[in-house]
């Protein structure tokens, strides 16, 4: 469990921060699940259950060390628990997603009873799944397995294509003329909705109903802006059109 010190990295170990980093890089390359939590000793039951289920879990207490670890190891699953008091979960999700594209690691955030807005913000900023802090271990493992399969590309899912834009839904990969797009999971879902209905005017309310992680029209506008920004270097920003006052449309005409 957590007493297996060879798989636990953080301030509790002796040595400098540089030593932690070297140790982390040496140990992490084979892991498939990184668990970030400032008090892992209180999660020993959950960590033990994950290991019994076959996951090679590495626990990291230091949030900053964890960012380097995720970047280097690109684990299938990144599980985010309790962070330092000065770090907001949604900001941390954004930083994780910047270094780990949606086609790489799947991010699951454990949260206490919190507002719907706090959960939406985490999803918008890069999380794939939000789970209650006290979620039963067997239910958490079931969710992890589903996300693991999806992000590992083990299922042969549909490929959506319109003009030079191509998307592999299950592998969470989108490309324009063969060039990858770096999109958060929520922005990816917005693009998917467009690709499934090209040259159609899509009312804002219809998009909101289809993309559960987006709660408001303002938030939707932000994701459309992010999508355009990602496509702009490839000359495709104009393909996402605003159709006032109704909504948006993917159009190449």
Which tens digits make up the pLDDT trace of 82-101?
A: 998 889 999 999 899 888 76
CATH of 159-250, one of 3.30.2350.10, 1.10.10.10, 1.25.40.10, 3.10.180.10: 1.10.10.10
pLDDT at residue 248 above 90? Answer: yes
pLDDT, tens digit (0-9, with 9 covering 90-100), for 23-58 = 545 555 557 899 999 998 888 999 999 999 888 899
DSSP 154: -
What average pLDDT does range 155-184 have in this prediction? 83
Rounded to the nearest 5 percent, the helix, strand and coil shares of the chain are 45, 20, 35
Q: What band does 155 get if pLDDT is binned at 50, 70 and 90? A: very low
**What whole-number distance in Å separates Cα of residue 110 and Cα of residue 17?**
26
Class of CATH domain 5-152: alpha beta
Q: Look up residue 79 and give its two tokens.
A: 């599980």
What average pLDDT does range 4-17 have in this prediction? 47
pLDDT, tens digit (0-9, with 9 covering 90-100), for 170-222 = 778 899 988 999 888 889 989 999 998 999 899 998 898 887 778 788 889 99
Domain layout of the chain by residue ranges: 5-152, 159-250
**What whole-number distance in Å separates Cα of residue 123 and Cα of residue 89?**
10
**What whole-number distance in Å separates Cα of residue 66 and Cα of residue 227?**
28
Q: Which residue has the higher pLDDT, 90 or 143?
A: 90
């Amino acid at each position: 469990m957590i007493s297996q010190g060879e798989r636990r990295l953080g301030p509790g170990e002796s040595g400098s921060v540089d030593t932690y980093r070297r140790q982390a890089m040496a140990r992490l390359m084979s892991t498939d699940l990184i668990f970030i939590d400032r008090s892992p000793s209180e999660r020993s039951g959950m960590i033990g259950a994950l290991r019994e289920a076959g996951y090679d879990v590495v626990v990291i207490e230091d949030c900053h060390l964890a960012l380097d670890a995720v970047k280097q190891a690109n684990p299938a699953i990144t599980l985010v628990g309790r962070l330092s008091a000065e770090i907001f979960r949604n900001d941390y999700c954004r930083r994780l997603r910047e270094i780990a594209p949606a086609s790489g690691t799947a991010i699951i955030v454990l949260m206490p009873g919190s507002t719907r807005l706090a959960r939406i913000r985490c999803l918008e900023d890069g999380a794939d799944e939000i789970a209650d802090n006290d979620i039963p271990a067997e239910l958490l493992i079931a969710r992890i397995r589903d996300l693991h399969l999806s992000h590992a590309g083990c299922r042969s899912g549909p490929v959506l294509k319109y003009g030079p834009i191509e998307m592999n839904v299950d592998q969470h990969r989108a490309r324009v003329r063969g060039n990858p797009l770096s999109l958060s999971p929520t922005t990816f879902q917005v693009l998917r909705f467009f690709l499934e209905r090209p040259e159609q005017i899509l009312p804002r309310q219809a998009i909101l109903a289809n993309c559960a992680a987006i709660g408001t029209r303002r938030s939707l506008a932000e994701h459309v802006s992010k999508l355009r920004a990602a496509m702009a270097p490839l000359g495709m920003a104009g393909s996402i059109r605003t159709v006032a006052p109704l909504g948006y449309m993917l159009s190449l005409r």
